[in-house]
């Protein structure tokens, strides 16, 4: 790595990134990242990271545990070689990881992503994965189910071994032989069943001696009666080993047929692991995506140095290349000048590596062809260079490399030599770099450079705020304000005699004193204005809050009023309905009565009754509307079906029936209520013009409830934290889908994953009960969960 990048501590950031990866190859890629100088490439890298960040926020992180570089094994299998059980299990583990990543992406299948081409490169092979796991139990044990022949051979071995043991058991229980035996047990030596015989009784039991004890008191004898049976067992064991070799060769050949797809899928998974590691690092840093340009414009809002404790780091605003191309940062030692300088350089390099930045939204960063830094004490005893000589050597190299697409960061420019000459040399260096068009940020103690920044266009002062009362820096960078050294004030606070400090003040030139007084006056005014601005902002926020509360109260009152009016309308409707029913009944009675007397009501009498009915309906309306604000004339006569506004209650309705005769009342349907309303109380609602369609962009998103849900979750090969996250997501999906019983597969292993999962289930609010699986369910390798 370039020494300029090391000076800005990019190597430490890459180590943090490598710690977020899940496999050695991804870790190696992270450590070898180099900043890109292409704007389009940087934008693509940042887009990939941002897409991974978004997918993680919505669906959680995919699991990359189990990725292992099996390229050599796969190429050997492709060439016809035979792999051992450990190599085949590692290949099956890679296939299982690839399948898990594809399944994770399947949960968000409705969401398009710029990472999809990498997900499409993953090639899981469920057939080969099951074939290997079904045949191999561990790195040293082949399953009986690997082949019919292997199962038959092992049955014969167990049968033959059982016969040998039965013969030997009879011997050790026999009183005739017990006195010759050291212990009444059956053991094995060299793969053959033997009994321990006392050395002095060796000749009493005919057989073959296979071993002796370390003390020589015991010999392990294979009695002649079981030699033939032991021979049979050994022959069968040889057949078993030959069958295992045959199965391994067969599995290796099948694996070799799929080697190219597995290798390409593995490399795609490694790249995805690196991208999601970038996103996870951004999540831990509470980072955001900056805008990127190649015009040298830097605008960092609330920037935080990523290597400082997030509970202690002070966010600061930094600007360069927009209104000025050179920033001169002054102030006392330990005030944060170097941190500000490193923050600009490090965040620039991080963005060029495709990493999100710990800054606020709407920040902007530039891509530079070169980021050159002279930071820290470069004194070299081996090269006989003083601090000043070492700095000058670096700066000479930087001047030779600098151009219009360079970012130059210089710490303590001109320090280590005579102040007058150092200040003059520093100004000359800044002028030279500015002529080359570079963006420059430099720290210094020289008052001459403060004046140079004040008098030169394109050069701006900045300082790191320092609290003299507490002798502590605030680490805030203030652009546009030159800093003070505060040496006299600090010395007094630390206990220096006042006489010495006063004498020092006398020795300072009057011109320098006046300059420092101006700076102090500016600082006092700035602090006062900042306090007033803070109060104004607080008052503004209070006013906005009060306005919001008033709006909420108004909305609440309006909602209550509308509710009461609707309630009154419903009561009126009920009253009108009852009254209408009573009148209809009365009319029917009268009609019946008239029919019986061979008489009928006259039309005038019926009209009178109907007029009385309308009067009754109007009197039954308990709502008193608002007063008319002025005369209103309908723009045209009303028609049935027109939309009108009931002005007194501010509610829209539809015209059902026009006025009859001399009546001025209109039958209107307002909601579920039909009522007669005076014509003067109606306002015709004109049809609204179709608004100009705005250009919108829609994005189809598949929710969790629509995602495919299974009742089994396989956690094997996952780390504890990752497994717990997947269990929570699995339970959430099951609850949304109405599933009540789940199966969590964690395997037996050491039991650590099972214990962690069950401890988490014990506290989960949605879990009613859980238990280990029984025979046929997976026994201790699975946990059965009942949901509430």
Binding-site residues:
331-338
Residue 493 backbone class (left: φ over 0; alpha: ψ -120 to 50; beta: rest): alpha
- Which token pair is 626? 């608002």
CA distance 620 to 279: 68
Collapsing DSSP states into helix, strand and coil, what is residue 244? helix
603-619 vs 510-596: helix crossing angle, rounded to 10:
150
- Which token pair is 326? 């050179």
CA distance 490 to 320: 31
CA distance 11 to 276: 19
Q: Answer yes or no: are the C-beta atoms of 276 and 64 closer than 8 Å.
A: yes
Collapsing DSSP states into helix, strand and coil, what is residue 4? helix
Question: Please, where are the H alpha helices in 21-147?
Answer: 24-31, 39-59, 71-78, 85-106, 116-121, 126-135
Which residues does 153 contact at the CB level (< 8 Å), separation at least 6?
236, 239, 240, 243
- Which token pair is 395? 């700066």
CA distance 399 to 449: 19
Q: Other CB atoms closer than 10 Å to residue 321's CB: what's the count?
A: 21
Collapsing DSSP states into helix, strand and coil, what is residue 476? strand
CB neighbour class for 402 (10 Å; exposed up to 12, middle 13-18, buried from 19): buried
CA distance 293 to 80: 53
CA distance 33 to 19: 14
Q: Is the dihedral of CA 16, 19, 24, 25 positive or negative?
A: negative
From the annotation, which residues make up the binding site for ATP? Answer: 331-338
Q: Answer yes or no: are the C-beta atoms of 292 and 367 closer than 8 Å.
A: yes
**HSE-up of 523 (CA within 13 Å, CB side)?**
22
Q: Which residues pair with 197 in a beta bridge?
A: 181, 219
Q: Which residues pair with 276 in a beta bridge?
A: none
CA distance 770 to 785: 4
CA distance between the termini of the chain: 56
What phi and psi, each to the nearest 5 degrees, are found at residue 441? -130, 130
CA distance 523 to 529: 10
DSSP code for 369: S
Q: Which of 282, 409, 284 is nearest to 348 (CA)?
A: 409
85-106 vs 259-284: helix crossing angle, rounded to 10:
60
């Amino acid at each position: 790595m370039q020494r300029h990048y090391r000076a800005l501590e990019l190597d430490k950031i890459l180590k943090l990134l490598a710690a977020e990866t899940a496999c050695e190859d991804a870790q190696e890629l992270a450590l070898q990242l180099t900043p890109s100088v292409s704007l389009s490439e940087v934008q693509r890298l940042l887009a990939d990271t941002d897409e991974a960040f978004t997918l993680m926020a919505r669906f959680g992180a995919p699991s990359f545990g189990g990725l292992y570089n099996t390229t050599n094994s796969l190429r050997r299998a492709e060439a016809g070689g035979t792999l051992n059980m450990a190599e085949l299990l590692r290949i099956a583990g890679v296939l299982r990881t690839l399948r898990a990543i594809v399944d994770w992406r399947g949960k968000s299948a409705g969401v398009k992503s710029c990472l999809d081409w990498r997900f499409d490169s993953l090639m899981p092979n469920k057939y080969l994965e099951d074939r290997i796991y079904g045949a191999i139990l561990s790195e040293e044990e082949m399953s009986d189910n690997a082949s019919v022949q292997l199962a038959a051979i092992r049955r014969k071995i167990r049968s033959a071994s059982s016969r040998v043991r039965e013969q030997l058991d009879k011997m050790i229980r026999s009183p005739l032989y017990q006195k010759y035996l050291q212990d009444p047990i059956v053991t094995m030596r060299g793969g053959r069943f033997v009994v321990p015989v006392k050395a002095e009784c060796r000749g009493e039991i005919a057989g073959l001696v296979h071993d002796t004890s370390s003390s020589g008191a015991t010999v392990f004898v294979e009695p002649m009666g079981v030699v033939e049976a032991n021979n049979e067992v050994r022959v069968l064991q040889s057949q078993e080993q030959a069958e295992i070799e045959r199965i391994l060769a067969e599995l290796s050949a099948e694996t070799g047929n799929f080697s190219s797809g597995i290798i390409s899928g593995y490399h795609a998974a490694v790249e995805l692991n690196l991208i999601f590691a970038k996103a996870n690092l951004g999540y831990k840093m509470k980072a955001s995506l900056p805008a990127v340009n190649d015009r040298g414009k830097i605008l960092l809002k609330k920037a935080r140095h990523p290597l400082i404790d997030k509970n202690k780091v002070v966010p600061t605003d930094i600007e360069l290349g927009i209104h000025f191309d050179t920033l001169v940062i002054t102030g006392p030692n330990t005030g944060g000048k170097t941190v500000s300088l490193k923050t600009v350089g490090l965040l620039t390099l991080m963005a060029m590596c495709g990493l999100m930045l710990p800054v606020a939204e709407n920040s902007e960063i530039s891509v530079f062809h070169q980021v050159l830094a002279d930071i820290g004490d470069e004194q070299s005893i081996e090269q006989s260079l003083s601090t000043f000589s070492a700095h000058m050597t670096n700066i000479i190299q930087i001047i030779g490399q600098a151009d219009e697409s360079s970012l130059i960061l210089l710490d303590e420019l001109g320090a280590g030599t005579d102040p007058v000459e150092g200040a003059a040399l520093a100004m000359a260096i800044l002028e030279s770099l500015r002529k080359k068009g570079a963006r420059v940020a430099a720290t210094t103690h020289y008052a001459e450079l403060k004046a140079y920044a004040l008098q030169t266009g394109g050069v701006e002062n900045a300082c790191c705020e320092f609290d003299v009362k507490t002798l502590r820096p605030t680490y805030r960078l203030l652009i546009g304000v030159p800093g003070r050294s505060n040496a006299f004030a600090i010395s007094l606070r630390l206990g220096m005699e006042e006489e010495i400090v006063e004498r020092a003040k006398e020795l300072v030139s009057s011109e320098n004193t006046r300059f420092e007084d101006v700076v102090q006056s500016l600082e006092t005014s700035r602090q006062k204005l900042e306090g007033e601005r803070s109060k104004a902002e607080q008052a503004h926020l209070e006013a906005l809050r009060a306005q919001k509360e008033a709006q909420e109260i108004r909305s609440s009152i309006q909602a209550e009023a509308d509710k009461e009016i609707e309630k009154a309308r419903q009561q009126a409707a009920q009253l009108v309905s009852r009254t209408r029913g009573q009148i209809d009944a009365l009319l029917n009675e009268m009609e019946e009565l008239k029919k019986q007397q061979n008489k009928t009501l006259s039309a005038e009498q019926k009209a009178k009754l109907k007029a009385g009915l309308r009067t009754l309906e109007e009197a039954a309306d308990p709502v008193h509307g608002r007063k008319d604000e002025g005369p209103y004339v309908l723009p045209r006569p009303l028609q049935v079906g027109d939309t009108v506004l009931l002005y007194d209650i501010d509610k829209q309705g539809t015209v059902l029936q026009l006025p009859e005769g001399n009546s001025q009342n209109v039958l209107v349907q307002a909601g579920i209520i039909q009522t007669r309303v005076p014509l003067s109380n109606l306002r015709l609602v004109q049809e609204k013009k179709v608004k100009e369609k705005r250009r919108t962009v829609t994005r189809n998103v598949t929710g969790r409830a629509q995602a495919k849900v299974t009742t089994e979750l396989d956690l094997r090969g996952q780390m504890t934290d990752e497994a717990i996250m997947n269990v929570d997501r699995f339970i959430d999906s099951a609850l949304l889908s109405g599933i009540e019983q789940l199966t969590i597969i964690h395997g037996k292993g050491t039991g650590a994953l099972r214990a962690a999962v069950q401890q988490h289930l014990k506290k989960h609010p949605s879990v009613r009960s859980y238990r280990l699986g029984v025979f046929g369910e997976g026994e201790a390798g699975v946990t059965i969960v009942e949901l509430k």
